[in-house]
Amino acid sequence: MTALELVSPYILKLIVDQIEIQIKTGNGNIQTLYSLIALMFGTSILAITFEAVNQRIGDYTTARMGKFLTENFYQKIFTLPQKYFDSQISGTIINLLGRGIVSLQDFLGAATNFIVPAFIRSIFIFIVLGFYSPLVAFLSFLAFPFYIYVSHISTKKWAERQIKKNEIEDTTRGRIQEVISNIRLVKSFNTQKTEWKLVSEKMGESVKIYDRQSFLYQVLNFVRNFGLEIGVVVVMVVVFRNTFIGIFSIGEMVLILQYLNQIRRPLFAMSFILERIKQAEAGSKSYFDVLALESTETMPQKVRKPAFDHPSISFSHVSFEYQGSERVLKDITFELPKNETVALVGHSGAGKTTLINLILKFYDPTGGTISMNGKEYPKLSHQDVRSHISLVFQEHELFSTTIFDNVAYGKPNATESEVKQALKQANAYEFVMKFPTKLQEKIGELGVRLSGGQ
C-alpha cells in the first residue's frame, strides 16, 4: 500500500509533463495522458483494496492479541498466593487488566500499521529527493531529528504524569466497585454523599494532573509543528526558485512538492509511535508487574479424583503469622480423623479461619507440618489437597449465573438429579422449585435476588 501511494506522485508528474509538452510544443499525446490517468486511478483503487485488507489483518491480530493477554493475566491470577489478594482491591485488579490490554493492543496496532510503512516511505522519499536535488533532500532530512527529539521529550513527560493518573484511577475504580458491591450497606448508613465526595476528590486530583499534562503536551506540540513548518517553507523556497530559474520542470516541481507533503506522514507516524510506546509503557506497567509476581500454585489441567478414600488431617506443632503481623497460631497439634465431626471454638481473632485457610493450603505454615493421611502438605499439590475438601463459607460466595450452575460448581458434569439431591440435603429444594425457571433461575451478583436465609 505504501509503495502504491509513493507511485501516485510520479504518475502525476508524468501527467503534468504531457500537459506541459502540449502547451509548449503541441506534441503532447492524448492517449498517453488518458493511460496515465487510468493508471493513477488503478493505483488508487489498489491502495484502497490493500488498506481494507491491511485493516482486516490488523483487526484479526488485535482480537487474538487481546485474547492472549487476557488468558495470560487470568491464568497468572489463579497461580498467585492468597496474600496477594488480601492486599488488593478486586476493582483495581480488573482495571489494570483492562487498561494494560488496551494499551498493548493500541501499541501493537500502531507498530504494524505505522512503523514499517513510515520507514519505507522515508527512505524512498529521500532517495527521490536526493536524485533531483541533494540540497532539498538534506534540508528535508533535518526536520526528522528535531521533530523526533521534541516528540521524545513530550511523550516522556506525558508518561510520567500518566502513571500517577493511573494510580488514582485504579484506586477510584476499586472504590466504586466496592461501593456497588456493598450498596445496601452504603444506603443503610446514608453515606452516599461521603462516597460521592471521595470519588469526586480523587477525580479532581486526576483532572489537575491531566491539565498540566495537556498544557505541556500542547506547548511542545506547537514547538515541533512550528519548527516543521519553518523547515517546509525553506525547502519550498528552494524548490520554487529552482523551478523559476529552469533547474526543475513543472512536473518535477509537482513531484517534489507531493513528496514534501508526504514526508509529514512519516514524521507524524514516528511521533504517534513514540506516544503509543510511552502510553503502552505507562498503561501496561501494572499489568506486567502482576505477570512478574512469583507463582505459588499451578493451574489444574483436569479434575482429579481424590487420592484418599477416607482422608484424615493432622497438625504437628504448626505455627503461622501473616506478613507484617503478630503470630496468629503457635505450636498447634491435633488430628481430624476420618468420619468424625470436629468443632473449632474460640473468640474472634483466635485463629479459627486461619486454621481452615491452612487446611485448604491457601497459606503455608511458618512452622510445623500439616499432613493428609500421613503425607505432608509440601508433597501434595494444591489441587490434591482441595480435591478432598468441601467448603461452606461463612459468607455466601455465589456467581451471578443460575442455581444449577452454582450448585454444580464443584462438579461441572453433575446431572440434574445430583443437583436436586444436593438441594434436598441442604433443605433448599422446596423454595428453589417455587422459582419460575426453577434450577435455571438466575440469582444475580452474589445472590442478590435470594433472601438471606435462602
Which residues of 225-356 form beta strands (DSSP E)? 313-321, 327-336
Bridge partners of 320? 329
Residue 394 lies in a domain: no
CATH number at residue 30: 1.20.1560.10
Residue 308 lies in a domain: no
Whether residues 325 and 413 share a domain: the answer is no
Percent of the chain with pLDDT over 70: 90
pLDDT digits (tens, 9 = 90+) for 231-262: 888 888 888 888 888 888 888 888 888 888 77
Whether residues 13 and 88 share a domain: the answer is yes
Query: The pTM is what?
Result: 0.64
pLDDT score for 156: 82
Quick check: 96 and 290 in contact, CB under 8 A?
A: yes
Residue carrying C-alpha cell 480523587 = 202
pLDDT score for 282: 65
Residue-range definition of the domain harbouring residue 423:
403-447
For the segment 127-148, the average pLDDT, to the nearest whole number, is 84
The span from the first CA to the last CA of the chain, in angstroms, equals 63
pLDDT score for 368: 92
Whether residues 147 and 55 share a domain: the answer is yes
Whether residues 278 and 360 share a domain: the answer is no
pLDDT score for 316: 92
Whether residues 260 and 155 share a domain: the answer is yes
pLDDT score for 229: 85
Neighbour tally for 296: CB within 10 Å: 15
pLDDT digits (tens, 9 = 90+) for 435-451: 888 888 888 766 667 76
